[in-house]
C-alpha cells in the first residue's frame, strides 16, 4: 500500500494529506490546498477518493472543501460533532467573524473573497467519534484543546498519527481562539505521548514525518509543565 502524501498550501500553509487505503481507495485530511491539485495527485497515484476528514473546524483546514466535494460528490465529509457548526449554511460568515475577532487582519482580509463568493459549506455526512476505527485502520482520538472538536487519527499497525493542530514539531496548537482550552490541550497532549515513541506524526502545519520521541521533550518542557 502507498504511503501518506502531503500537499502544503492555503493562506496559512496547511498540510493536506492524502491517505491510501486498501483496494486503491483513499481519504483526504484537511483540504486546504487547491482542489485541482489534490485531484491531480489522487489521479496520478491511481487512487479513488471515498472520504474527506477534518481534524477540526478552522477554515484554514477546509479552504478547498467546497470545490473538492464538487469534484468528488461521492466522498463523505466527516468532522467531530463539537465542531459541526463550522460546516453548513452560512458557515463562511461564522469563520469570517471568528478570524476578524482575532485582530489578524492579514488572515480575514485574505479570506474575505471566499466569504463573499461562497457563504456556505457542505454539511457533514457523518461524525468522527472517540474510539471508533475508520476503515478498520485509523482510530479516532478526540483531543480537545485547540478547538472543542479536535481529533487525531492513529494507525496502530503503521504507527502513524495524523495530529491536526493538536501537536506540531516541537510545538502545539494555540488555545486563544473560540473553543480553545489550555488545560484540555495539556490533557490531550499527554494522551498522545502515551502512544509508542516511534510513532510518526503528520501535523496540520510545517514539518511532518517526525517521531513522537523527537518532539516529546520540547513539548513537555514548554507546555505540559505549565
Q: Dihedral of CA 8/10/11/15: which sign?
A: negative
What confidence tens digit (pLDDT) does each residue in 26-66 have? 999 999 999 999 999 999 999 999 999 999 999 889 999 99
What are the pLDDT digits (tens) for 60-71?
A: 899 999 999 999
* Contact partners, residue 206, CB within 8 Å, separation at least 6: 13, 15, 168, 169
| Tens of pLDDT, residues 133-156 | 999 999 999 999 999 999 999 999
Model confidence, pTM? 0.91
Q: Pinpoint the alpha helices (H) of the chain.
A: 35-44, 65-71, 91-102, 105-117, 182-192, 212-219
Chain mean position to CA 85: 16
Name residue, grid cell 483513499: 26
Domains of the chain with CATH codes: 5-87+122-224 (3.60.15.10)
| Distance, CA of 70 to chain centre | 20
| CB contact at 8 A, 35 and 122 | no
Residue bearing cell 467546497: 66
Amino acid at each position: 500500500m502507498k504511503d501518506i502524501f502531503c500537499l502544503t498550501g492555503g493562506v496559512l500553509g496547511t498540510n493536506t494529506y492524502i491517505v491510501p487505503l486498501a483496494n486503491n481507495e483513499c481519504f483526504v485530511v484537511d483540504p486546504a490546498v487547491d482542489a485541482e491539485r489534490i485531484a491531480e495527485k489522487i489521479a496520478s497515484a491511481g487512487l479513488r477518493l471515498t472520504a474527506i476528514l477534518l481534524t477540526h473546524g478552522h477554515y484554514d483546514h477546509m479552504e478547498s472543501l467546497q470545490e473538492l466535494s464538487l469534484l468528488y460528490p461521492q466522498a463523505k465529509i466527516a468532522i467531530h460533532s463539537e465542531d459541526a457548526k463550522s460546516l453548513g449554511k452560512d458557515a463562511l460568515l461564522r469563520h469570517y467573524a471568528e478570524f476578524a475577532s482575532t485582530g489578524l487582519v492579514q488572515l480575514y482580509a485574505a479570506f474575505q473573497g471566499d466569504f463573499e463568493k461562497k457563504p456556505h459549506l457542505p454539511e457533514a455526512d457523518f461524525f468522527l467519534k472517540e474510539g471508533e476505527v475508520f476503515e478498520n485502520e485509523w482510530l479516532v482520538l478526540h483531543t480537545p484543546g485547540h478547538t472543542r472538536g479536535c481529533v487525531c487519527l492513529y494507525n496502530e499497525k503503521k504507527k502513524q498519527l495524523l495530529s491536526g493542530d493538536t501537536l506540531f514539531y516541537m510545538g502545539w496548537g494555540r488555545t486563544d481562539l473560540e473553543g480553545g482550552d489550555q488545560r484540555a490541550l495539556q490533557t490531550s497532549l499527554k494522551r498522545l505521548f502515551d502512544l509508542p515513541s516511534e510513532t510518526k506524526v503528520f501535523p496540520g502545519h510545517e514539518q511532518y514525518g517526525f517521531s513522537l520521541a523527537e518532539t516529546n521533550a520540547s513539548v513537555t518542557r514548554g507546555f505540559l509543565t505549565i
